[in-house]
Amino acid sequence: MAVGIFDSGLGGLTVLDAVQKHLPEMEFLYYADSAHAPYGVRDAEDIYQLTKSAVEDLWSRGCDLVILACNTASAAALRRMQEAGVPKGKRVLGVFVPLIEALTERQWGDNSPPREVAVKTVALFATPATVASRAFQRELAFRAIGVDVEAQACGGVVDAIEDGDMILAEALVRSHVEALKRKMPHPDAAILGCTHYPLLQQVFQDALGPEVAVYSQASLVADSLAHYLGRHPNMQGDGAGGFLTTGDPKRVSDRAAQFLRRQITFSKA
Ligand code: DGL
């Protein structure tokens, strides 16, 4: 029995880690499309095709439920995949909604009209493709009014993380935060809208200052998934858990161990 967790690379491990702490009995099949990462510089069609093929692979390996632990894939592919129709008994879910529910203080499944919320100014840090999609602003507008969102496309950060160059990644984060602050000097909250970014959460927080509430997805998605599986216990699938990559398994395993500080062994997808 395994739930599929998909990302373009290592970022989804931040979600997997939180989900495993929340649901220690549950098995997960993690799929990193490392050969095609980063997704954030690709066009929407490309991201859709890559995401679709990875999700279909996870379904075929016995996962009934696949979580897109990747904002870029969620932004560019999720709605299109859902609208095209998924095979009977299979589901694919993204990572935007739990984050927006937390920001707008909504309960799971609250479909009431949009209303004013406490947070008025939000800095969104995400990949170029996620920013270009405006998917975050769209989902937010369904739930809240009067929220000013300033988005910063954080070019280069995912590449640096995938290459294990954390010094470069940190420098890029600081410069993207500075660029954001020139457009919005005092945001109430900041959204880390890419699952790679929690690996640098402290760098974002330090650069933004202690008064800015930084929202990251890992624990929010873990809560939502636990709720979802509580209500849909039949969605746990019948496949085996593990770690798959389209890239070089040894290289990806080494990087993953560096980030999660435990031994992780990827196999070739
Ligand atoms: N972790 C992915 C996300 O949440 C990174 C996308 C990329 O590969 O650029 O957006």
Quick: pLDDT tens for 63-102: 999 999 999 999 999 999 999 999 999 999 999 888 888 8
How many beta carbons lie within 10 A of that of residue 242, not counting itself? Answer: 16
Q: What percent of the chain has pLDDT over 70?
A: 99
Backbone angles phi, psi at 139, to 5 degrees: -65, -35
Backbone angles phi, psi at 153, to 5 degrees: -75, 120
Q: Which of 66, 122, 147, 194 is catalytic?
A: 194
Contact by Cβ (8 Å): 245, 252: yes
Ligand 1 centroid to residue 39 C-alpha, Å: 6
Laid out side by side, the sheet with 91-93 consists of 91-93, 65-68, 2-7, 27-32, 242-245, 267-268
Same domain, 144 and 231: no
Same domain, 12 and 71: yes
How far is it, in rounded angstroms, from Cα 21 to Cα 132?
33
Terminal Cα distance for the chain, rounded: 18
pLDDT value of position 108: 63
Please give the number of the atom of ligand 1 that sits closest to the Cα of 8. 8
Same domain, 26 and 8: yes
Examine the residue annotation and report whether 154 is marked as an active-site residue of this protein: no
Same domain, 130 and 141: yes
Same domain, 200 and 171: yes
Same domain, 127 and 141: yes
Please give the number of the atom of ligand 1 that sits closest to the Cα of 40. 9
- Residue 266 DSSP class: -
Global pTM value: 0.94
Selection from 72, 203, 188 nearest residue 135 by Cα? 72
Total domain count for the chain? 2
CA nearest ligand 1 atom 9, residue: 40
Can you read off the two tokens belonging to residue 17? 């880690």
Q: Which of 70, 177, 180, 214 is catalytic?
A: 70
Ligand 1 centroid to residue 9 C-alpha, Å: 7
Among 5, 36, 70, 163, the mutation site with the greatest number of ligand 1 atoms within 8 A of its Cβ is 70
- Residue 113 DSSP class: P
| 105 vs 204 pLDDT, higher one | 204
pLDDT value of position 105: 86
Same domain, 90 and 222: yes
Residue with tokens 């990806």: 252
**Would you place residue 236 in the very low, low, confident or very high pLDDT band (cuts 50, 70, 90)?**
confident
pLDDT value of position 183: 98
Q: For residues 39, 40, 41 and 45, what is the CA-based torsion angle, rounded to 10 degrees?
A: 60
Find the CATH number of the domain harbouring 138: 3.40.50.1860
Examine the residue annotation and report whether 70 is marked as an active-site residue of this protein: yes
- In this structure, the residues whose C-beta lies within 6 A of any atom of ligand 1 are 7-9, 11, 37-40, 70-72, 127, 130, 158, 194-196
CA nearest ligand 1 atom 8, residue: 38
Res 107 pLDDT > 90 = no
Tell me the per-residue pLDDT of 112-169, one tens digit each, with 9 for 90 and over: 889 999 999 999 999 999 999 999 999 999 999 999 999 999 999 999 999 999 999 9
Residue 191: give the domain boundaries: 97-216
